[in-house]
Amino acid sequence: MNSKSAPRNDIWLASGVRTPFSKIDGALSDYDAIQLSVPLAQQMVGSLRNGALPDFTVWGTVVPNLTWSNIAREILMDAGVAPTVPAFSTIMACSTSMVGAIEAAGMIGNGSNQLALVGGVESMSNVQIGLPMKLSEWVKKFQQARSIGKKLSQLADLALRDVRLYIPAVTNRTSGLSMGEHTEITVKEWEIGRAEQDALSLRGHQRAVAGWESGFFDDLVIPVGGATRDTIPRADTSLERLGKLQPAFDKTSGKGTLTAGNSSPLTDGASSIWVASTEGLNRLPSTVPKVRLVDFELAAVDFRTEGLLMAPAFAIPRLLARHQLAYEDVGLWEIHEAFSGQVLFHIKAMEDAIFLKEKAKVDQSFGKFPFERLNPNGGSVALGHPFGATGGRILSQAVKELALMPIGTYAIVSICADGGQGSVMLLQNA
């Protein structure tokens, strides 16, 4: 799926703000998903010129709270944004807030809207614990019982084995395997070694730390509570330290290569970004970095045979082929790192002529991947990965990076998603 039938007008992305990212049960654990998002909505809307408002809002989260039917609307209401601004929620696993931006682009591209506030959030520290269906049904019947006798009768129907709590797990429903277990399978198939993964992880931490020290993140991150910056990047990590970590997912074969050091951690955080028409840009502060959305590609594969996180390796070549671009023609690459190994097998697949022709169905070579242009200020392994917020984080980061590059420079922004899906955008500094 791509933009052939979508935006007709020029669409722009403008950098938003995000919270600091923190590991689960860390600095942001006292804030639920709405509380993490409200400061962003307030900051973003409050920055608009002359009291302007967005035409609509799209927000998403991956792990749901059963008491919120539309988190986007709840965020705007708690933020004090004018109640006349429509808001709806979206979800596509780790691609959630990027897909929210794609949805917004479609609504703006036809000329009926000019400016959208898009965001995403995850509070892994505050995942709602659910009940199995049998216990849920019992609770409902118990509440509906009108008399003490009927309630006592319902109590007699409750067996101890039915009193179990359901804690959402980071596993795929179809396969029963976690993303890490799936990725272990794929890195073995593509022969991605432990040393390569650790080296990419170290590079990411070094670049994330350097990004903070240089001030790159200063206008992209706002304080929440006592947290003022990302807590995950490690200035003191090294290949030696990473090499001592034990496999986290394949613990028995002796061949496991994914560890806590080269995998993105469970993370709390929220992010935001603007999607605008050329006219809509007039509502934004003049200093906000902005770039043009050229095109996008969504892909889905049968992950039982192709790999759970492989879809971007199909989408990127298709998107570049449509615009007659080679890898070298792209000046900036932002590839989401669910795992270091996943980024590496994407790159290896995209350089493989057989994969391109037989799998991606693109019969051309794109050249050698320019590794030095990848994730210049760190990726998700070092910065963190709040599922619903990663799209907003990586897009705002890419927009700022690209806006500092020469006019005409292209960027690819890519996110893999659970379920064998992925989303990719082609951006240009115009």
Catalytic residues: 94, 385, 416
Identify which of 147, 158, 125 has the alpha carbon closest to the alpha carbon of residue 231: 125
Cα radius of gyration rounded to whole Å, the chain: 22
Q: Are 417 and 3 in contact (CB under 8 A)?
A: no
How many separate helices (H) and strands (E) can be counted in the chain? 14, 10
Rounded-to-integer distance, Cα 38 and Cα 44, Å: 10
Rounded-to-integer distance, Cα 271 and Cα 386, Å: 9
Identify which of 236, 260, 339, 272 has the alpha carbon closest to the alpha carbon of residue 104: 272
Rounded-to-integer distance, Cα 375 and Cα 327, Å: 15
Identify which of 401, 424, 257 has the alpha carbon closest to the alpha carbon of residue 336: 424
User: How many CB atoms neighbour CB 133 within 10 A?
Assistant: 9
> Which parts of 19-125 are beta strand (E)?
22-23, 56-60, 87-90, 115-123
- The separation between the first and the last C-alpha atoms of the chain, rounded to the nearest angstrom, is 25
